[in-house]
A and B are shown apart, each in its own frame.
Chain A
Amino acid sequence: MREVWQVSLAVSCIKLLLIPSYHSTDFEVHRNWLAITFSRPIEQWYYEKTSEWTLDYPPFFAWFEHFLAKVAYYFDRDMLNVENLNYASEATVLFQRLSVIVTDFILVLAVKNNCLLPLTLSHIHFQYNGFMFGILIWSMTCMLQDQFIWSALWFAVLLNFKHIYLYIAPAYFIYLLRNYCFKATGGSLQWSSFSPFRLITLGFVVIYVFALSFGPFIYLKQVPQVLSRLFPFKRGLCHAYWAPNFWALYNFVDKTLTILGSRLHLTTGTPSAVMTGGLVQEFHHVVLPSVPPVVTLLATVTSILVAMYYLWSKSKGPEDFVRAVVLCAFGSYLFGWHVHEKAILIIILPLCLLVFNKREDASIFLILSTTGHYSIFPLLFTSAETTTKILLMLAYSVFAFSSLGYIYKSNWSWQSLPLLNSLESLYIVGLIPLEVWNSAIFPFLDFSEKFPFLPLMLTSVYCSFGIIYSWIKFYKITLFDKKLKSQ
C-alpha cells in the first residue's frame, strides 16, 4: 500500500511541474463558478449569467466550489469577483492547480485497495475529474465487494456532482435490481425472492442523496431552472471538434460523398461550409440524412439493450456489472448527441478495473486507452504543450504496454506490440505518422490556412476506427467468451 502513496506522490510532483502550463477555458469556467458560489446567494447560483460559462453541474458540485472558494479567498480575493471575467493572476492559477492535485488524492484513496496500474494510468488527466473518478471507482469497488447500498450511495453522490454519469446509470439500475432486490442471485430469476424491503431501502438511500442535493432548490422552487441549466440543448450533432464516435464517421462519409458528388456534378449547390469550415458546430448533412437528437437517443438505447439484457439474465457476478458499465459508457459515447471527447475517459477508467482479469480485456484496454488518449490531443494545441503531451503519451504507452505485456508474458516483436496482433499493432503505430503529419508537416504547408480543420478531422476519423473496433471486440468477449465464466 505504501507504494500506492509513493506513486501518487510522484505523479503529483509531475502535476506540480505542470502548473505553469497552458490552461484551457475550463480554467475560466471554474474561476467563474468559484466567484458565483462565493459572492452570490444560493438563490442566484443557477440564474447568474454575467459570464457565458453558467453553472451547469448539479448542486453537489456547486457546494464543492463554494467550499473551495473559502480557501481561494486567501490566495487571491479578486478571482472571486464575478465581474472579473478571464481573471488569471498567478495566485489564481496556483490555487486552481493545487486544488486539483489535492482533490485528486481522493482518487488515491479509492484505488489504494486496488492495483497500482489503474492509479498511474488515470492520474494523468486534469480538471476536477480526478476526485470524481475516485468516487466512481469507489462506488464500483463497493459493488465488486457486494456492498450494494454503499455502491448506490456513492453513485448517487457522483450523479449529483456531474450528471454526465447518467450514461452508466442503466447498468447500476439493472444490476442492483437483479442482484440486490432479488435475493437469489445467479441462475434463472426466482420471482419469489423479490424483496420489497430491499427495493425500498435502495430507493430511500438514493432519494435521500438527491434530496440533500436539490433540497434547497426545491424549497426555492427553482428545480426547473436548475434542470434547464443542467440539460441545455446543445446545438450540433457533434462538438466543434468531432469526438471520435460513430457520428464523426457519419460526418466524414457525408463530406466525402459531397465532395465526390460536386466533382462529378451529381449534387447541386454545395453549402459553403463543407470544404472550408469545419469548426462550425451545426453541421448540415448534405448527402446523408440529417440526424436529429431523438435518433441519437434511439441509437444509444439500442446499443446498450443487448448488454442490459445480458446483465439481467446471464450475469454471474459483479465483474459483469463492470462490463455493463463499460458497455453503457461505450454506447453513449459512440452514439450520443454532442459528445465531448473527454467522455472517452468514462469508458477507459472502469475498463482499468478489468485489466488484470483477462488477456483480451488487457488487449482492448491498450488499444482503447492509446487511441483514446491520442484523441484528446487536439484539446492541447499550443506549441509548448505539444511536446508535453507527446512525451507524456509516449512514456505512458510504453509503460502500459510493457507492464501488461510482462504480466501476460507477451513481448515486443517486430511484427506486433505486446498483447496485440499485427493489424492492431499497425493501427497503433500508425498514430505516430499521423501525429507527425498533424504537428510537424501540415502547419507548414501552403493550404493549411484554407483547411484548418483537416488535422482535427483526420485525428477524429482515425481514432473512431480504433474506438469502434474496441467496442465490438469488447461486446463480443462479454457475450460469447465461455472462458470468462470458468475463471
Chain B
Amino acid sequence: MYKSGYVVALLVAVLARWLVSLHKYSGAGNSPMYGDFEAQRHWMEITYHLPPQQWYFNSTNNNLLYWGLDYPPLTAYHSWLCGFVANKINPSWVALKESHGHESYAHKLFMRYTVILADVSIFFPAVVLFFAQQKLQLQDKVKMSLVVLMYPGFILIDHGHFQYNCVSLGFALFGVVWICRGFHLWGSICFSLALNYKQMELYHALPFFCYLLGWCLQKWSRIPQLFKIAVTVISTFLVCWLPFLRSKEMVLQVLNRVFPLARGLYEDKVANVWCSLSVLIKLKQMFTVDQLVFICLLSTLVCLLPSSLHLLCFPTTRNFKISLVNSSLVFFLFSFHVHEKSILIPALAVSLLVHDYPFWCVWFYFISTFSMLPLFVKDDLVMAAVATTVLHALICKACLNISSTKDDQLWDRAKTTLLKLSMIGAVLLTVASLILTPPPRYPDLFPVLVSIYSCAHFVLFLAAFHYFQFQSPSQSANVKKVQ
C-alpha cells in the first residue's frame, strides 16, 4: 500500500508543479527587459548560436547588459541543451537577436516542460534517495519525501517565477546523500557539479569542506583520502571549465560575471540583516562598496566560525546536516548582494532535518515562503503562493508530528502558541500588503515590514539550529527517544 503511496505522492508533487506552471512567469509581458524567464530563453539563444568562448564576453551578438550570463558553466551547458531542442522544435524561439522578448503559448509550455523534466530527473530522485536511505518506516519515508517535495518555495520559484534551482539543489542533495553514506568521492563530484551550476551553492560549501577535512584528520590512515577528494574536486572543476581555460583573461571574465561585486549591498528588499539594519542605519550611505564588502565578509566569517569549527572537531553526519543549515543561514543573513530567492538554499538544508526537528522545519518553511511575498506580488503569483502554502500546511499537519510528546508540556504548548501567533502575523501582513496602499512617504513599507518580520525569524532559527548543533549527541538522542 505504501509503495503506491510513493507513486501518488510523486504524482501529486508533479501535478502541483504543473498547475503552478500554468500561472505567470517573471516579467511576463513586461517589455523591454521582461524577467528571469526571458533571461533563461536568452541564454538558450546565445549558447546555441555562439561558441563557448563568446558566452561570457560582450559582443554585438551578445549584449551583456541584456541578461548577460551570470551563472557558472554548467548552467550554460544546460541552456545549450535546451536551446538545441528548442531549435529543433521551432527555430524562432531561439533565433539570434530576433527572438528577444519572444512570448507564445507553445514556447511557454516548452520552457515549463524543461523545468519539470530537470526537476523530476534530478531533484525528485535525490529527495527520495535521501529518505530511502534513512532508518525509517516506509510510510514515514513517503511522508517526509512528500513534505519536502511540496515545499512551496521550490515549486513557486522554479515553476512559477521560472528558474532551474532544482538542478543545483538536486546535485547538492545527492552530494549530501553520498557523503552521509561514506562515498566521499561521489559526494564531492556531485557537490562540485552543484557549485558549477549555481555559485550560490557556496553557501553549503564550508560544511562539506569541514566535514570531509575533519573526517580525514581523525585518523592518519585517512590522509590519502584527503588528497583523493582534492584531486576529484579539482578535476571536476577542470572538466566543467574546460572551454574557458584557454586564457587567464577568459577565466577572470567568467569569475567577474559570476561574482559581480559592482552591484550593491542588496537589491530590492531582502530578509537579511543588512537590509533590516538599513532601516535605522543608512549603511549604503555611510560606507563605500569596498568597505561594505569587507564588513559582510568579516561578519559572515565570524558567524560561520562556531558551527564550522564544531563540525571540524566532531565530524558526524548529524553535525554535517545541521551545520549545512547554519552555514547557509549565516550566508543568507550576512553576505553581500543576497537575493530573496536564495532562501531556498537554507530551505534545502532544513529539509534534511524534517524528521528530526519537524516543528522548526515547518516553521522555517512557512516563514521562508512568506519572506518571498514581495516577489510573488511582483510576479502575480500570490494566489498560487497562498494555495501551495495552505496545501503544504495541510500536508505537514498530516505527515509530521509537530508537537512532541516530551514531558515538558508547558514548553511544547508555548512553542505551538508561538508558531500560531507567528503564522497569524504573517497572514495579517499578507492581507495588509494586498489590500492597503502604503503611505506616500514610505512606498516600500510592506516589503520592508515583510523583510524585517522574516529576518527576525531567521535570526531566531539561526540561534535554535546552533543550539541543536552544539547539543551533545547523547542529549539529542534522549530527546529523540522521548519524541
Contacts and interface: CB of A to CB of B under 8 A. Distances in A.
B12 interface: yes
B398 A398 contact: no
B19 A17 contact: yes
A394 B10 CA distance: 11
Interface stretch (B172-180, B207-215, B320-328, B387-395): B387-395
A387 interface: yes
Interface string A5-26: 0100110011011111100000
B441 to A, nearest CB: 31
A399 interface: yes
A28 to B, nearest CB: 20
B11 A391 contact: yes
Interface size range on B against A: 20 to 34
Contacts of A399: 8
Nearest to B6: A398
Contact of B397 (A6, A384, A412): A6
Interface string B122-145: 000000000000000000000000
A14 B8 contact: no
B4 interface: yes
Given A384-B109, A398-B7, A406 B1 contact: yes
Contacts, number: 75
Interface string B3-34: 01101100110111011111110000000000
B412 to A, nearest CB: 21
A10 to B, nearest CB: 5
A17 B388 contact: yes
A147 interface: no
Interface string A371-400: 000000000000110011001101100110
A20 B11 contact: no
B384 interface: yes
A127 interface: no
Interface string A392-414: 10110011011001100000100
B383 interface: yes
A394 B8 CA distance: 8
Contacts of A6: 394, 397-398
Contacts of B22: 17-18, 20-21, 384, 388
Given A398-B4, A402-B5, A402-B8, A13 B387 contact: yes
A248 to B, nearest CB: 30
B4 A402 contact: yes
Interface in B52-108: 105-106
- Interface centre among A17, A18, A399, by most chain B C-beta atoms within 10 angstroms, is A17
Given A395-B8, A402-B1, A383 B16 contact: no
A391 B15 contact: yes
B95 to A, nearest CB: 22
A82 to B, nearest CB: 29
Contacts of B15: 14, 388, 391-392, 395
Interface of B: 1, 4-5, 7-8, 11-12, 14-16, 18-24, 105-106, 109, 383-384, 386-388, 390-391, 394-395, 397-398
